[in-house]
């Protein structure tokens, strides 16, 4: 009790509570070592601000108080902003300009009060110390409860996919399988209906003897949900509210993708799994470069002021100095990953191996940012940034022409270098234009399959993504997976 009364422990307790609370909320998704690294970074930030403030106040107690108010705003801005958006009847109160200005004014007033006052503010310090100790104690109890296995599980797949034993076909051919995902590639019928755009990809693929499912649809309109469903060959269960999808739902999807049924089935058939995607697969982590902090700590860190701003208005800040010093590198990682995945897939197709291979290649295109024009020429950075949020259809269609060039290059390389392989071209959802009036278009996706024997009787024109691998495995490995009813589930973020 003497320590609680005498020292501003809340400088350490606040970051500890923030990280611990996020760790508990995302229990099972964030490693304790990763959370520890995040906590160290926040403690360093907090103590740096406190040390800087000491030079103004010459009092550790008052320097600690102004620091804790700064850090409270930093840690809980996302919660404040989301609360205002959900409950404020005045739109002005939800704007960044208003919230940031108000916060700066409040912090400036507190700075003046603490600077001029001679009070020790001891009672308030005791209150903060006690408050965060209680919160931390509650979260520790919840963590222990979850560790015992009593917590309710998140998303899962329907009972069919819970069976891990498969009938292995020992006499079947085992060609290389290229599962190539083009993020947000809407199908040609949708492009024609919405924008009178004639897409030449279908005719190219038909000439290459693909089967193009022209009326295909995705089952979900968000990438993690669409991919976890397609790769598990079934629909998802456990979504509490499809109209209010949470961060936990996204995190559960990454687990379903990591341990998906497709790779388990193919592993049982002796396939090597090759992962050129943004998602981790069991035993095959993503090759995408990570930042200093482990990627999964974003489940906690994304609630802070800077991360929330970057999510909402980062596209706008990216062209402004000094924000472009940091944002540009992160922004252009998508272009680097796309180029790397294209090169790696081409190299792998040319390098024959005895063991059959399953490639999961996930391109972040024609999803914005639109880095190239139709001829493959790099577009101006400022234009790319400014288009990211508005997402104009004209720029999307221009980018589609460029993406078609990359698809044609990849298909021709695979068919030339590895002619006995199976190629599956899919997109996770259609084009999500901001002012789309007919929402059916967000599910109209690319779906084209190439079998080396050119036998496509098991396919049908309106097939959705959930039945892609069911149909393929029935044909290729003599399975009897039932074809599910094709339906779509529209999701919205909370």
Per-residue pLDDT reduced to its tens digit, 405-459:
999 999 999 999 999 999 999 999 999 886 555 688 999 999 999 999 999 999 9
More confident residue, 333 or 395: 395
Distances (CA, A) of 405 to 192, 366, 394: 19, 12, 18
pLDDT at 177 over 50: yes
pLDDT at position 188 over 80? yes
Q: How confident is the model at residue 115 (pLDDT cuts 50, 70, 90)?
A: confident
Radius of gyration of the chain (CA): 26
CATH of domain 156-477: 3.40.720.10
Q: What is the mean pLDDT of the chain?
A: 88
Six-digit token pair at 209? 């003897």
- Which pLDDT value is given to residue 302? 80
Distance (Å) of CA 283 to CA 90, 158, 262, 272, 462:
50, 24, 14, 11, 34
Rounded mean pLDDT, 207-214: 98
pLDDT digits (tens, 9 = 90+) for 317-334: 555 555 554 555 566 788
Average pLDDT over residues 67-74: 93
Q: 312: pLDDT confidence band, cut at 50, 70 and 90?
A: low
**Confidence band (pLDDT; 50, 70, 90) for 221?**
very high
**Rounded to an integer, what distance in angstroms lies between the CA atom of residue 236 and that of residue 303?**
26
Question: 157 falls in which pLDDT band (50, 70, 90)?
Answer: low
**Residue 131 pLDDT greater than 90, yes or no:** yes
pLDDT mean over 240-266: 88
Mean pLDDT of 270-284: 91
Mean predicted confidence (pLDDT) in 151-173: 68
pLDDT at position 47: 95
Of the spans 90-104, 155-169, 173-187, which averages the highest pLDDT? Answer: 173-187
Distances (CA, A) of 223 to 17, 170, 331, 487: 32, 34, 18, 16
What's the rounded mean pLDDT across residues 119-133?
Answer: 87
Query: pLDDT-derived band of residue 154, with 50, 70 and 90 as boundaries?
Result: low
Is residue 315 a contact partner of residue 323, using CB atoms and an 8 Å limit? no
Bridging pattern class, strands 357-363 and 177-182: parallel
Q: Where are the domains of the chain?
A: 2-147, 156-477
User: In the block, which residue shows the tokens 């069991």?
Assistant: 282
pTM of the model: 0.77
Among the ranges given (98-107, 263-272, 303-312), the one the predictor scored with the smallest mean pLDDT: 303-312
Question: Which tokens is 143 given?
Answer: 């963590």
With a cut of 80, say whether residue 142 has pLDDT above it: yes
Distance between CA atoms of 301 and 35, rounded to whole angstroms? 10
Mean pLDDT confidence for 74-85:
87
CA distance 233 to 469: 6
Cβ count near 134 (within 10 Å): 11
Q: Kindly state the average pLDDT of the residues 219-246.
A: 93
Q: What is the pLDDT of residue 150?
A: 58
Residue 261 scores a pLDDT above 70? yes
pLDDT range class, residue 161, cuts 50, 70, 90: very low
């Amino acid at each position: 009790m003497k320590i609680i009364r005498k020292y501003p422990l809340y400088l350490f307790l606040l970051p500890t509570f923030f990280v611990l609370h996020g760790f508990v909320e995302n229990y099972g998704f964030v490693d304790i070592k990763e959370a520890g690294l995040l906590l160290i970074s926040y403690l360093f930030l907090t103590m740096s601000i406190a040390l800087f403030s000491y030079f103004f106040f010459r009092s550790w107690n008052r320097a600690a108080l102004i620091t804790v108010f700064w850090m409270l705003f930093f840690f809980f801005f996302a919660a404040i902003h989301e609360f205002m958006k959900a409950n404020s009847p005045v739109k002005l109160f939800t704007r960044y300009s208003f919230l940031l200005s108000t916060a700066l004014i409040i912090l400036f007033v507190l700075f003046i009060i603490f600077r001029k006052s001679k009070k020790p503010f001891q009672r308030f310090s005791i209150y903060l110390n006690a408050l965060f100790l209680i919160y931390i104690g509650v979260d520790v109890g919840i963590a222990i409860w979850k560790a015992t296995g009593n917590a309710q599980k998140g998303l899962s797949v329907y009972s069919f996919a819970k069976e891990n034993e498969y009938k292995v076909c020992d006499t079947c051919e085992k060609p290389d399988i290229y599962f190539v995902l083009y993020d947000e590639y809407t199908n040609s019928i949708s492009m024609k209906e919405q924008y009178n755009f004639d897409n030449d990809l279908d005719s190219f693929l038909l000439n290459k003897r693909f089967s193009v499912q022209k009326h295909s649809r995705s089952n979900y309109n968000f990438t993690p949900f669409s991919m976890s469903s397609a790769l598990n060959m079934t629909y998802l269960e456990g979504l509490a509210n499809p109209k209010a999808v949470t961060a936990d739902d996204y995190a559960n999807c990454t687990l379903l993708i990591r341990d998906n049924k497709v790779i388990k089935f193919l592993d049982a058939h002796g396939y090597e799994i090759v992962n050129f995607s943004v998602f981790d697969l069991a035993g095959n982590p993503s090759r995408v470069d990570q930042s200093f902090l482990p990627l999964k700590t974003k489940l906690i860190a994304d609630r802070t002021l800077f991360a929330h701003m970057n999510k909402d208005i980062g596209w706008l800040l990216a062209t402004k100095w000094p924000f472009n010093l940091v944002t540009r590198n992160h922004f252009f990682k998508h272009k680097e990953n796309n180029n790397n995945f294209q090169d790696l897939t081409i190299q792998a197709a040319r390098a024959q191996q005895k063991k059959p291979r399953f490639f999961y290649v996930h391109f972040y295109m024609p999803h914005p940012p639109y880095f190239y024009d139709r001829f493959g020429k790099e577009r101006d950075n400022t234009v790319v940034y400014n288009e990211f949020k508005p997402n104009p259809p004209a720029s999307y269609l221009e980018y589609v022409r460029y993406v078609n060039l990359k698809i044609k290059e990849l298909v021709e390389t695979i068919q030339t270098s590895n002619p006995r392989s199976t190629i599956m071209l899919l997109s996770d959802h259609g084009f999500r234009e901001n002012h789309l009036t007919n929402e059916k278009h967000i599910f109209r996706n690319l779906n084209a399959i190439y079998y080396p024997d050119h036998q496509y009787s098991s396919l049908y024109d309106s097939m959705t993504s959930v039945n892609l691998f069911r149909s393929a495995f029935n044909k290729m490995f003599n399975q009897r997976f039932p074809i599910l009813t094709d339906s779509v589930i529209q999701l919205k973020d909370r």
